[in-house]
Amino acid sequence: MTTRRSILKHMAAATALSVWDAPLRYAFASVNTERRLVVVILRGALDGLAAVPPHGDPDYAPMRAQLALDKNGSAANLHDLDGFFGLNPGFTNLKAMYDAKEVVLFHNICSPYRERSHFEGQNCLESGGTSPHALNDGWLNRALQPMGMADGVSAVAIEQTPPLLLSGKAKATSWMPEVMPEPDAAFLAKVRALYANDTVLASSLDMGLTLQNQAQAMNDDPNAKSGKFKASYGNLTPLFQGAGKLLGHAGGPRVAVLDASGWDTHVAEGAADGQLARRLQALDQALEALKTSLGPAWKKTAVVMATEFGRTVRPNGNGGTDHGTGGAAFLLGGAVDGGKVKADWVGLKPAVLKDGRDQPVKTDLRALFKGVLADHMGVSRTALDSTVFPDSGAIAPMTGLVKA
Amino acid sequence: MSLEGAIATQRFGLGARPGEIARASANPKAWLLAQIAGPAPQPPAPPDGFATAGRLVSEEEEYKAEKVKNKPAKAARQEAEAKGESVPPKPPKDNIRKEIWFAEMGARMALGCTTDKPFAERLVRFWSNHFTVSTAKRKVMTFAGSYEREAIRPHIAGSFEDMLFAVCMHPAMQIYLDNWHSIGPNSPAAQKGGGKKGLNENLGRELMELYSLGVDGGYSQADVIAMAKLLTGWGIYDGRPSGFGFNEARHEPGEIVLRGKTYPAGWDGSVAAIKDLAHDPATAHHIATKFATHFIADDPPKESVARLEKVFNDTRGDLHALSETVVKDANAWHPELRKFRPPVEYVTATLRAAGWNGDGENRDKQMRRLLGAVRVMGEVPFAAPSPKGWDDNADAWAGSDALLDRIEWAKQFAQGLPDANAARLAEDGLGPLLTPNTKSVLAKAGSKSEAVALLLASPEFQRR
């Protein structure tokens, strides 16, 4: 069985036959930074009050009713952080990272979008626009040029196709762990010839092969070669682990995008041992796998996790929560100056809630994104205010998020 | 064989079966419209037939009762395990949902591969995806097949209003968007429950945002709540063939104002509100855009959308007229293959070109394998990640990883067809759409099976 590693050699040979075009140049060695950035999109509107419960707020328990996580119960019911905020019991590894001062948590945060449609909300979250469909490319894509990473291989989506966040003029690619046996190189060279007049398929194939190659070359996990390293739907760990391996490689990509969905808890959200807590535990394990597989590169990494909007403060009629506004966000990694919660907390009394039902928004998510892009990835304020987040001069980048 | 005949089989069909391009070529438009003149085909039923939604509601109840019954045994097993004692054996695993799912999806897949009314089948799939229900809620596994057979198929050339009602009343939709749990806050049922249970906005929102008006169709959060209230009491009823029932005790009492219009209390008000949504001009625009995107191009010409929108408005949502309009639109006959086939369409086109007949005892096994293959390529029928359904553009399906998986599958599939002849397959499946470039690459293939794999990986085979 030919592996993609050996395809690289075949590719070189094939170049002599002029079947392969320029895009297959092996560009990895030219990466200009050691810093890594991972963006995790939490699709479906994560309940921030379940993920980062403000258990010290006197209104928290009465407003949340059966969804309240109880700090007075057993330790398993909540990880206390500072006597006021806590972490969901599913976040065991995240708690350890917080204690190691590698996590900053955000509350009352949201994109500029104020309606309650998932799809529009995700569109704003990913495009960086102030209204849905105002921009047709992603903010991370627009940041690739100023970061010097628009070469098509420095930024990768761990998905079958890059999401809007990473789509646009700058080149980026997508990668997933191996799930099928691989066709041999000679065959792929012929397939490439089929795409001579189809630019979409040609560039998609070129990028896929290049990245697959790289993943194969660095993959020393024996399970991977026997085909056990498979993408399992609903199981996040292999994807986060794969991302860590790619980013951890000296010549690998520096920016990765991951998707974790399943947060739309309209029914039976549950408390300490409910479905949401279990889903958060899966996310927690995936984050730990990302950290481990990054190896020493973890020290150079910042991971941002954000969702399209929060959920209603009170439970609905079905033990779930409906679409809301403000919510939680996360920044973690060895490069993060952490161990704190940034909330601008105003309480949970009905009078302060948006429309009497949602957490208010005190911080624009773009301030968080801009802060990370500026201090971690060296993107200039001019680029941030004009191209990455157009007309956003009024939103100042947050400071003090990453270590100097 | 004419170019128009070949385009008809691809753009409006599911890829040509042997002889189909020739049949379509005589009069491509008439060939398409004849397919929607009668009732839509139904998937081949197993010997004892498919269960109705009502029967499935009872099955689910039995399934639940069984699980409750097994609970003490499960607890006892866990306790014994914790104490290190000998563990009593598990009861056989109840796979009823999976069994129903594979029977339904296998039959649906087989129908797609064999039907001589592929345009009708494309319409079925378009509408099933528009009105998405998804196994993201496990229970939908039981109902997805009956949903399409009962709520979608009968209406593809009927009226949009009828389809909208059938969809809202089907247990699959009631379950998927939680409406069967929703209770009017001031209803007798809510008062009896001490206010513990209440309204769920999910169906109310998506009904307007995705299924009718569209996201910019003119409604507010207050309207979402009003629509949710109008839908309270609509739910599931064990003991009727439809599985649907209206429970007045759960319905929000009194008149309800939706989008500035006051609807009367009770069932009649809800029906009137849904009717209005079905005939709203915003709905016409939303549906016309999706329809043109599906059949013409990812970014369809505005004039085509306008024509479809006008017909939808003028005929009060006559879906036969809508289909006829797109078939007669010159923009839909552009020789360039602009749309990229999503995975299910792609594997279906492959089996059609190969002349697979859906017979033989291996059918179920083959269909299960196909379902596995499309899963790897990123699409499973009735398993879209959100109520928005599967994306209908090339960006969603032509990503690097998805494309590599597709090429790899093509190679494996070709190896399973040792006797296939690529030239024959190209003639049957693509006819005049085969490009000179692909022809020249096929000529350099090292083996018969490599030639077949290359044909299946070619742009013209992946596009329509």
Mutate to test the interface with B, among A214, A258, A322 (most CBs of B within 10 A): A322
Is residue B288 predicted with pLDDT exceeding 70?
A: yes
What is the C-alpha separation between A260 and B5, in angstroms, rounded?
44
- Contact (Cβ atoms closer than 8 angstroms) between residue A154 and residue B370: no
Predicted pLDDT at A232: 30
For position A31, what pLDDT does the model report?
57
Check residue B238 and report its DSSP letter: T
Tell if the CB–CB gap between B209 and A208 is shorter than 8 Å: no
Task: Name every chain B residue with its beta carbon within 8 A of the beta carbon of A176.
Answer: 401
Where helices occur in B84-220 by DSSP H, the ranges are: 96-114, 118-130, 140-147, 160-169, 171-176, 188-192, 202-206
Give pLDDT tens digits for B264-278.
Answer: 999 999 999 999 999
DSSP A165: G
A403 domain-assigned: no
Among A253-262, B289-298, B343-352, the minimum mean pLDDT is found in: A253-262
Distance CA B205, CA B220 (A): 10
Tokens matching residue B110: 């087989």
Q: How confident is the model at residue A183 (pLDDT cuts 50, 70, 90)?
A: low
Model pLDDT for residues B69-85, shown as the tens digit of each residue: 877 777 777 777 777 77
Tell me the ipTM for this assembly.
Answer: 0.87
- The reported pLDDT for the residue numbered A227 is 32
Amino acid occupying residue A347: G
Whether B123 has its CB under 8 Å from any CB of chain A: the answer is no
Q: Which residue has the higher pLDDT, A256 or A246?
A: A256
- pLDDT class of A216 with cuts at 50, 70, 90: low
Residue A10 has pLDDT above 80, yes or no: no
Q: Residue B61, Cα to own-chain centre: how many angstroms?
A: 25
pLDDT score of A13 = 25
Place of tokens 């979250």: A125
For chain A, what is the radius of gyration of the CA atoms?
Answer: 22
Task: Flag if B202 and A200 touch (Cβ within 8 Å).
Answer: no
Q: Which of residues 366 through 385 in chain A touch B, CB cutoff 8 A?
A: none
Query: Which pLDDT band, with edges at 50, 70 and 90, does B68 fall under?
Result: confident
Contact B201, B229 (CB under 8 A): no
Q: What is the model's pLDDT at position A8? A: 27
> Dihedrals φ, ψ of A12, to 5°?
-60, -45
Q: Which chain B positions have a beta carbon within 8 Å of A267's beta carbon?
A: 178, 181, 200
Whether pLDDT at B368 is above 80: yes
Provide the terminal-to-terminal Cα distance of chain B, rounded to the nearest Å.
17
CATH code of the domain containing A128:
3.40.720
CA closest to B393 among chain A residues:
A161
- B397 vs chain A: nearest CA distance in angstroms? 7
Nearest to A260 by CA among A177, A366, A157: A157
Tell me, yes or no, if A204 comes closer than 8 A to chain B by beta carbon. yes
Nearest-5° angle of CA A327, CA A333, CA A336?
85
Least confident among B222-236, B294-308, B417-431: B417-431
Low-confidence winner among A322-331, B295-304, B369-378 (lowest mean pLDDT): B369-378
CB pairs under 8 A between A and B: 153
Task: Give A233's contacts in chain B (Cβ within 8 Å).
Answer: 375
How many CB atoms are closer than 10 A to CB A74? 9
Instruction: Tell me, yes or no, whether A401 lies in a domain.
Output: no
Closest CA to A183 of B200, B186, B457: B457
Q: Is the predicted pLDDT of residue A275 greater than 70, yes or no?
A: yes
Per-residue pLDDT averaged across B446-457, rounded?
90
Cα separation, B221 vs B432, in Å, equals: 52
Reported confidence tier of residue A225, pLDDT bands at 50, 70, 90: very low
Q: A159 exposed, middle or buried (CB, 10 Å; 0-12, 13-18, 19+)?
A: buried
Mean of pLDDT over chain A: 83
Contacts of A320 in chain B (CB under 8 A): 178, 200
Does A174 reside within a domain?
yes
Say what the pLDDT of residue A76 is. Answer: 57
What residue segments make up the domains of chain B, in order of their start? 1-84+95-121+134-153+338-464, 177-278
B336 in contact with A, Cβ within 8 Å: no
Angle (CA) B351-B354-B355 rounded to 5° is 90
Nearest to B454 among A160, A190, A261 (CB): A190
Q: Which residues of chain A are within 8 Å of residue B136 when distances are taken between CB atoms?
A: 262
Residue among B221, B409, B457 minimizing CB distance to A191: B457
Chain B residues in contact with A157 by the CB 8 A cut-off are 399
Q: Is the pLDDT of residue A25 over 80?
A: no
pLDDT score recorded for residue B201 = 94
| Out of A119, A160, A183, closest to residue B408 by CB | A183
pLDDT of residue A3: 30
3-state percent helix, strand, coil for chain B, nearest multiple of 5: 60, 5, 35
Structural domain includes residue A259: yes
User: A194 contacts in B (CB within 8 Å)?
Assistant: 437-438, 441, 454, 457-459
> To the nearest 5 percent, what fractions of chain A are helix, strand and coil?
40, 15, 45
Interface of A with B in 324-363 (CB under 8 A): 355
State residue A71's pLDDT score. 62
Collect all residues of chain A within an 8 Å Cβ-Cβ radius of residue B436: none
Count helices and strands in chain B by DSSP H and E runs? 24, 4
Say yes or no for a CB contact (<8 Å) between B200 and A160: no
- Evaluate if residue A15 carries a pLDDT over 50: no
- Helix, coil or strand: residue B159: strand
**A132 part of contact set with chain B, CB < 8 Å:** yes
- Asked if pLDDT for residue A365 goes beyond 60, the answer is yes
| Chain A: residue whose CA lies nearest to B203 | A266
Q: Do A205 and B400 touch (CB under 8 A)?
A: yes
Calculate the average pLDDT of chain B.
92
Closest-CA residue of chain B to A231: B376
Position B291 confidence tier, pLDDT thresholds 50, 70, 90 = very high
> Is residue A191 situated within a structural domain?
no
Res. B97 pLDDT band, cuts 50 70 90 = confident
Task: For residue B401, give how far its alpha carbon lies from the nearest alpha carbon of chain A (Å).
Answer: 5
Report pLDDT for B212: 98
Task: Sort out which chain B residues have CB atoms less than 8 A from A116's CB and list them.
Answer: 205, 221, 224
Q: Is the pLDDT score of A213 beyond 60? A: yes
Q: Give the model confidence (pLDDT) of A97-150 as tens digits.
A: 999 999 999 999 999 999 998 888 999 999 999 998 889 899 999 999 999 888
**Structural domains of chain A, count:** 1
Q: Give yes or no for A44 touching B (CB within 8 A).
A: yes
Chain B residue with CA closest to A187: the answer is B450
* CB interface of B with A, residues 40-59, below 8 Å: none
The length of chain A in residues reads: 404
Residue B88: band (very low, low, confident or very high) from pLDDT cuts 50, 70, 90: low
What confidence tens digit (pLDDT) does each residue in B14-54 have? 999 999 999 999 999 999 999 999 889 899 888 788 889 99
Do A116 and B375 count as a contact with CB atoms less than 8 A apart? no
Show the domain range for A373: 38-183+221-388
Would you state the pLDDT for residue A249? 85
Could you tell me if residue A9 is inside a domain?
A: no
